Amino acid sequence: MTRVVVVGAGAREHALARALTASAEVTVVPGNAGIAAHGIACADVEIASLHPDLVVVGPEEPLVRGLADELRARGVRVFGPGAEGARLEGSKAYLKDFLDAAGVPTAAYATFSHEADALAYLETMSAPYVIKTDGLAAGKGVLVTSDLEVARRDVVAKLRGDAFGAAGSTVVLEEGLEGFECSLHVLCDGTRAVPLLTAQDFKRVGDGDVGANTGGMGALAPLPVVSDEDVRVIMREVIEPTLVELRRRGIDFRGVLYAGLMVGPGGAKLLEYNVRFGDPEAEVLAPLYGAGLLELLDSTARGNLVVPAVPSGAAVTVVLAAYGYPHAPRRGDVIFGLGADGQLATPVEGVSVFHAGTARDEHGRFVTAGGRVLAISAVAPSLEVARARAYAAAGTVSFEGMVMRSDIARKVVS
Ligand code: AMP
Ligand code: GLY
């Protein structure tokens, strides 16, 4: 059996590992309490010591640090780009420069490290104002506001390092785009690119897309308003020029290019690239691809990508976050409604519980141990049924101060 190591410790890695266990022997490094409870091996060891046939890197930080390069240098097959390719996500300023060079449609922008220049430029912009930290900020470094005074304060806080430390020492000020968001995950084997099902992530903490940006409060796939023809246009206008520019820069990108797109009246524009699976998008995509995921990831890493069969059905995931998320999540609240295996104590058809931030207390109970705590994922023949299953399941799980949106996927099914 193929030996696979999944690197990471969250719900995304749980979902990927779960789908891969259908056809491989999987170890998650380091994993978490809920993944281990689900019968998937977790180990906090050096990856090479496990002699994997394939390593799948979940989060962006190790990719930006060059983990994929280190492993490839030792002859290990890796799903995930090297440090050069990961700069697409690691630096917003690099990304914008790359997109200009490639001719990819994106929001107009300017980059600043000096407060006075940034504030002067801000006065020339019209609302909504979009202010981004340059470096990695776990999806939380972006402010979109129509209040100029709030925008000014954010620029100052970011540039003074109050908000994100060194990651904020350069800011990108961007034109606000209108439309709806779509996450398109594209597998790239260095030469070819194949899109997976479209997905949508819900980034704001509150119902109706209000409140702070988070890592993602829920997701759905596929996104019905985006047609196959729309995807072909995005591949032609966004992805193909990106691949050409990657090759021009000598970057052999083997992994997933996750395009965060704003689809508006003038077509799709790129908001950002991520160089790994979205979290929580992986929690809807991985269960849909299921046993087919191993071949997809392995052939991508080998450089001879197979074209995936399009899965039928739909999936919805609802994130349960800790009290105080996203600003100051509280740890240690006891979670009710889970069995010893970390899955639903009262099972609901088609539902898996993926653990993001959980731990076991001294009595063996699951407790909150991070901002996002659990992702409740449901697959079903339709989005409507998937949504109903996910919320039925979420209703059986509880902990003090639980933060959950009640409107994930509501618009697309009503
Ligand atoms: P990013 O990390 O760049 O994807 O930004 C996080 C979120 O901020 C996105 O998912 C959008 O909801 C929002 N956002 C980012 N850039 C823009 C923009 N130019 N116009 C409108 N909303 C944006
Ligand atoms: N779903 C947002 C992210 O993974 O960055």
Q: Which domains does the chain have, with CATH numbers?
A: 3-83 (3.40.50.20), 108-175 (3.30.1490.20), 180-302 (3.30.470.20), 314-413 (3.90.600.10)
**Residue 308: pLDDT band with limits 50, 70, 90:** confident
- Whose atoms come closest to the Cα of 281: which ligand? 2
In tens, the pLDDT along 377-392 reads 999 999 999 999 999 9
- On the CB side of 112, CA atoms within 13 Å amount to 20
- CA pair distance 303, 61, nearest whole angstrom: 23
**Average pLDDT rounded to a whole number, residues 402-414:** 90
Proportion of the chain above pLDDT 70, given as a percent? 96
- Can you give the pLDDT at residue 266? 83
| Cα–Cα distance, 175 to 109 (Å, whole number) | 6
d(CA 79, CA 196): 15
pLDDT band at 142; cut points 50, 70, 90:
confident
- What is the SS3 assignment for 163? coil
pLDDT value of residue 166: 59
Give me the mean pLDDT over the 90-96 stretch.
87
The stretch 259-273 carries a mean pLDDT of: 93
CB of 131 within 8 A of CB of 188? no
Ligand index nearest the alpha carbon of residue 132 = 1
Torsion of CA 30, 33, 35, 41, to 10 degrees: 60
Ligand 1 centroid distance, CA of 309 (Å): 31
270: confidence class by pLDDT, cuts 50, 70, 90:
very high
Atom in ligand 2 nearest the alpha carbon of residue 281: 1
Model pTM score? 0.93
For the chain, what is the mean pLDDT?
94
In the reported structure, the alpha carbon of residue 350 is separated from the centroid of ligand 1 by a whole-number distance in angstroms of 32
Could you identify the atom of ligand 2 that is nearest to the CA of residue 280?
1
Rounded to whole angstroms, the maximal C-alpha distance in the chain is 60
Calculate how far, in angstroms, residue 323's C-alpha sits from the geometric centre of ligand 1.
Answer: 25
**For the CA of 60, the nearest ligand:** 2
* Mean pLDDT in residue range 179-190: 96
pLDDT at 75: 96
Report whether pLDDT(278) > 90.
yes
Question: Which atom number of ligand 1 is nearest to the Cα of residue 109?
Answer: 19
Task: Let me know: does 286 contact 294? Beta carbons within 8 Å.
Answer: no
Q: Is the CB of 141 under 6 A from ligand 2?
A: no
- Confirm or reject: Cβ of 274 under 6 Å from ligand 2: yes
Going by pLDDT thresholds of 50, 70 and 90, the confidence category of residue 141 is confident
323 SS3 class: coil
Distance from the alpha carbon of residue 412 to the mean position of ligand 1, in angstroms = 21
- Span 214-233, mean pLDDT? 96
Centre of ligand 2 from the C-alpha of residue 235, in Å = 20
* Residue (of 203, 196, 141, 205) closest to 174 by Cα position: 141
| pLDDT surpassing 80 at residue 408 | yes
**What mean pLDDT comes out for the span 137-165?**
81
Average pLDDT over residues 114-134: 91
* pLDDT, average across residues 243-272: 95
Segment 27-42 mean pLDDT: 98
d(CA 238, ligand 2 centre) in Å: 19
